[in-house]
Structure 1
């Protein structure tokens, strides 16, 4: 008996990079599969696992490749011509500007890449881009008409419940608690010389550094450190030294405010913490991501003599990363964009989880971050340190500026999601092209 079911269409999502580190392309694949009911083939570099919703989706298949990005653009155009299919480019950034970070904008290789991108970009049947600034650049200088599709978080980026926070911090206990350096304000000392009861922050096996559970009740510890999260690709377009310098400034300024000097003992610091004497809290920075400059900065971190600041670097699963963002007190973005025309996806994710942000300032960042509503901008380590001092004074209960930004980020998290943005802006373009 012949089936009356309409034959499903098929689409290839080609990623010039690691699919696990390309959230926007993952979300495109989900929307094409679920909102357009298409069979989706993802062609991408291997490396990191995408979200479980991609890996286990019955309409999505992943195929790995490893060629350079330049021939890929030409290969996709050729393939679409041979198969009589349509070719759409989603412009996240410009490849030639990324190449220019290492070679300089005037290098012959960079100029050739620029020509290649613009030539094959004009061959596309349609284009999407991430900002109005990029839309203007494509129209004025590349003769490409693009539709702006702002990044939005998918539904699995949302504020984290207290139960989810506690379970996450218990899972990460082995990554967070071991010391990182000679004097680490997060590490729990158990040596005989520091055996004073109040210092043991993990009083019970069910405790985490930030939470405690008594029966069915879970609560945040009043003397917990403030948790600051940043994700980075550890590449030159994100100057991680800015965050290190700001953290060092915060550490020194807090010591100055409290009248401390280098002679303060670890025992005295722990006693002050456990008695709740925290005009300014300890800061724990959790830095997620992979990249070429990670080892260099990890060595720099270990050499810093920090007393009220600690760093941890880690790689989280695609499922745990949103939970960490929703459990943090502040997010930091160091992204400045090689072109100055794209926006940091990490900030979008942070807002999706209700997390306020301090973001590096550059030309189009205000398309995303609304200053003093859901975040703040900085242009130097000193400005970022100033923001830490202002936002965390009186933490956790008397920091009104931080709470105000948190309210703004929570409002942003509930206002728009990827599926809505995609249906409004991408779906009409796709439907027009394939009709």
Structure 2
């Protein structure tokens, strides 16, 4: 067969160009990419210069709220969204959509909701590798999302902290490069480094020190204003992070209007009837002899379920042989849920019924209001935050038994609206406190007192707190920067 085409390659020395020639070739090949990069750079510069000239007016009426968590279980940030909306803002609310949202957020004319994908650890990876991959993924996604949401009419960006990684850095860089017109507000619920330290239990660990530095640097560099959930957290940020005391305000968590005290016996019967999964024929709630306890949880390491299980076992023994019974409702889910369920399923309960349920936000307030007593196991990773679960209980007029830690007294007044444990590790004392309040006639006056104290707390609402402290500062009519 005749070979029509035969490849013989390039002759020797064909590509032996001078350095100058190679540089010209590379320059020519890079022109399209260089032109594209320059066009992006020019565009960003034009947008930046334009937005830097924007002056505050009534028309600058948008706020972006970012939560790297489930919006359905981020009540404080949801309340912020409603409060901004009530001031006349258009709200862009970004977060995970893992559960149903409060009804007041479904307002397409005034509130737009953006779903941030949840990145879960589906396959086994070392924690640090998974965390690194998660952060890289979120950097690209959040940067693209927020770049498109933040615009000329954006006045504020409100960020929940924690988590601070990577959202604080992303928002800070967007302000520095893309949107100098926005003002950044950090709402401090806790400290990210202290939550991470629950895993390492070592404040001198390099990762903990790096997170602490990152949190401090970003808040100092980028935040225009800071909100904290306690005065103790405010003082920490001033003393340890060096934040300006004039740029920090404590805004306490308060319940929204969806949490209300029980209004009548008819309402009680209706709630019991509508929740067959909790109060079925096996439970058969008897109002004379039964008492309802409730604790809400995320099953995280900053809540001591060991002490609760020990306490429940003690109370079960003490109630054995009586007609009295406790119905213990545990609401929520989280990483330590399976451990808790195993510990209660291995025990034979006689006078205590334990129900672990995941309640939708529409039904959760109804279950709270029928409780006789709430239990808070929260001790705080930093010792500087307060549990929202107690706020919800107070909104429902329910007194609490709470773990003791330094700042809890900013919310729970011992023997006035609840009981603060003297020893967080003493299940005997905890059992005595609960049984005494629920069944001991001699302590009836004490229960009535803390019940009235909780009802008094129920009169203080989120709108009262927010409007008193933030409304005038964040008003659309206010042309001064915060």
For this structure pair, what is the TM-score category when the shorter chain's length is used for normalisation?
0.7 to 0.9
User: Which residue matches 1:32?
Assistant: 84
User: Which residue matches 1:129?
Assistant: 228
**Distance in structure 1 (CA, Å) of the matches to 2:82 and 2:338:** 34
Q: What is the 5 A alignment of 1:161-172?
A: 161-162=263-264, 163-172=266-275
Residue in structure 1 matching 2:185, options 72, 76, 88: 88
Alpha-carbon deviation of 1:338? 0.3
User: Which residue matches 1:340?
Assistant: 383
- Give the count of matched residue pairs: 368
1:128–1:426 Cα contact (<8 Å) kept? no
**Distance in structure 1 (CA, Å) of the matches to 2:70 and 2:450:** 33
CA, structure 1 residues 342+391, in 2 after alignment: closer, same or farther (shift >3 Å)?
Answer: same
Query: 3-state SS of the aligned residue for 1:364?
Result: helix
| TM-score where L is the length of structure 1 | 0.80
1:42 partnered with 2:93: yes
Residue in structure 1 matching 2:317, options 252, 257, 278: 252
1:424 partnered with 2:468: yes
CA, structure 1 residues 125+403, in 2 after alignment: closer, same or farther (shift >3 Å)?
Answer: same
Give ranges in structure 1 of 5+ residues lacking alignment: 1-5, 179-186, 189-200, 202-208, 211-220, 261-271, 274-280
**Distance in structure 2 (CA, Å) of the matches to 1:160 and 1:284:** 18
User: Which residue matches 1:191?
Assistant: none
Q: What is the 5 A alignment of 1:148-159?
A: 148-159=250-261
Q: What is the 5 A alignment of 1:266-277?
A: 273=323
1:168–1:320 Cα contact (<8 Å) kept? no
| TM-score where L is the length of structure 2 | 0.73
Alpha-carbon deviation of 1:430? 3.1
Q: What is the 5 A alignment of 1:151-230?
A: 151-162=253-264, 163-177=266-280, 187=282, 201=284, 209=285, 221-223=287-289, 225-230=290-295
CA, structure 1 residues 9+377, in 2 after alignment: closer, same or farther (shift >3 Å)?
Answer: same
**Distance in structure 2 (CA, Å) of the matches to 1:429 and 1:333:** 34
1:110 partnered with 2:212: no
**Distance in structure 2 (CA, Å) of the matches to 1:148 and 1:174:** 40
Q: What is the 5 A alignment of 1:369-384?
A: 369-378=412-421, 379=424, 380-384=426-430
User: Which residue matches 1:218?
Assistant: none
**Distance in structure 2 (CA, Å) of the matches to 1:360 and 1:398:** 20
User: Which residue matches 1:204?
Assistant: none
Residue in structure 2 matching 1:14, options 60, 66, 90: 66
Alpha-carbon deviation of 1:37? 0.8
1:241 partnered with 2:241: no
**Distance in structure 2 (CA, Å) of the matches to 1:176 and 1:299:** 22
Residue in structure 1 matching 2:171, options 68, 72, 76: 76
**Distance in structure 1 (CA, Å) of the matches to 2:467 and 2:391:** 18
Alpha-carbon deviation of 1:14? 0.6
Q: Output one character per residue of 1:28-62: Cα deviation in whole Å (capped at 9) or x when no partner.
A: 0000001x110001111231222111134631111
1:249–1:382 Cα contact (<8 Å) kept? yes
CA, structure 1 residues 373+57, in 2 after alignment: closer, same or farther (shift >3 Å)?
Answer: farther
Query: 3-state SS of the aligned residue for 1:12?
Result: strand
Query: 3-state SS of the aligned residue for 1:399?
Result: helix
Give ranges in structure 2 of 5+ residues lacking alignment: 1-57, 118-133, 136-162
**Distance in structure 2 (CA, Å) of the matches to 1:39 and 1:72:** 21
Alpha-carbon deviation of 1:410? 0.5
**Distance in structure 2 (CA, Å) of the matches to 1:328 and 1:9:** 42
**Distance in structure 1 (CA, Å) of the matches to 2:68 and 2:93:** 11
Give the root-mean-square deviation of aligned CA atoms: 2.1
**Distance in structure 2 (CA, Å) of the matches to 1:393 and 1:76:** 53
Alpha-carbon deviation of 1:106? 2.2
**Distance in structure 2 (CA, Å) of the matches to 1:57 and 1:330:** 38
**Distance in structure 2 (CA, Å) of the matches to 1:174 and 1:359:** 27
